Amino acid sequence: MITDFHTHAMPDSLAPRALSVLTGGIREVSGVEVTPATDFTYAGLVRAADAAGIGRSVVLPVATRPGQADKINALARKVEADSQGKIVMFAAVHPADEDNGSRLSRLADEGFRGIKLHPEFQREYFDSENMIELLKAARDNGLCAVTHAGADIGVRPPVHGEPFRIRAALERVPGLVLVAAHLGGWMMWDEVCDLLCGLPLFFDTSFLSGYIEPYRLRDIIRAHGRRRVLFGSDSPWESPVSALALLKAAGLGAGETEDITEKNADSILNREIRL
């Protein structure tokens, strides 16, 4: 079963306004007109995944302000329970919240497999003390941490999650199961190759179509290792069909593709990590 390890969706009541605000932000910051692949709802995500032959989607909610996480996570538990196995919800956390140590312990007890961090939206450097505390709590509670990595098309500089900061954080939190999204650092491919390839962390392939040549995607995957890469689309910002097409265009072997689209996600979600 193919797993899309990087997606986003929201409740029906919030999705239209959130999609409008986010697309407007991208237009303002980058001058790019983005056509979302879904309506940003959970049902829309499942429809897009079904159309692409994807059996399971990992949804990564982001707490953009302190104090939001608990409400987001209460809803997340219900969404996953109602999804008939189509959706796996990670938990939202904010590095500026108090009591994140006890919060992550509770999240693990509730069955969450991981957390999502976004240094750009949260305006927190990835190697800050707040982030390091969160990452240690994730590791100590057996939670995978997924972070946005590199620049963000909808957020003005400075960048808070460059590859050198991801490397620094990983060195301070050995044993952490970390996923650096967007191939380790969006639009920072040279730094990814120099600083992150080969280290014990995962990359995902989200939001790459049109931003990286297929041959370079293949080269980075092989430099990093096929067992350390996860398929992701970043839906609704990239269609899962387009994301799968880019992976196919990279010219990988069948075994490499199976690891990236299926086996590596299984190892994380089943807590049988292969690094």
What domains are defined for the chain?
Answer: 3-269 (3.20.20.140)
Of 234, 180, 181, nearest to 209 by C-alpha is 234
Contacts of 27 (CB under 8 A, 6+ apart): 33, 34
Write out pLDDT tens, residues 23-62. 999 999 999 999 999 999 999 999 999 999 999 999 999 9
Q: Please, which pLDDT band fits residue 140 given cuts at 50, 70 and 90?
A: very high
Output the pLDDT for position 122.
98
Q: Which two tokens stand for residue 226?
A: 């096929």
Output the pLDDT for position 266.
97
Calculate the CA 264 to chain-centre distance: 14
Rounded percentage of the chain residues whose pLDDT exceeds 70: 99
pLDDT of residue 153 exceeding 90, the answer is yes
Output the pLDDT for position 80.
98
Write out pLDDT tens, residues 93-138. 999 999 999 999 999 999 999 999 999 999 999 999 999 999 999 9
Q: Which two tokens stand for residue 45?
A: 């995500």
Please tell me the distance from the alpha carbon of residue 254 to that of residue 97, in angstroms, as a whole number: 44
Output the pLDDT for position 199.
98
pLDDT of residue 275 exceeding 90, the answer is no
CB 70 within 8 A of CB 99: no
pLDDT of residue 187 exceeding 80, the answer is yes
Of 72, 141, 154, nearest to 111 by C-alpha is 141
SS3 7: strand
Rounded percentage of the chain residues whose pLDDT exceeds 90: 98
SS3 85: coil
Please tell me the distance from the alpha carbon of residue 47 to that of residue 140, in angstroms, as a whole number: 36
Phi, psi of 195 (to 5 degrees): -115, -25
Please tell me the distance from the alpha carbon of residue 113 to that of residue 118, in angstroms, as a whole number: 17
Mean of the pLDDT values across residues 182-206? 98
Does the pTM exceed 0.85?
yes
Of 212, 180, 176, 211, nearest to 197 by C-alpha is 180
Is 124 exposed, middle or buried, given 0-12, 13-18 or 19+ CB atoms closer than 10 A?
buried
Please tell me the distance from the alpha carbon of residue 214 to that of residue 232, in angstroms, as a whole number: 15
Whole-number average pLDDT of the chain: 97
Name the helix (H) or strand (E) containing 204: strand 202-204
Please tell me the distance from the alpha carbon of residue 62 to that of residue 12, in angstroms, as a whole number: 17
Output the pLDDT for position 273.
81
Count CA atoms closer than 13 A to 175's CA, side-chain side.
8
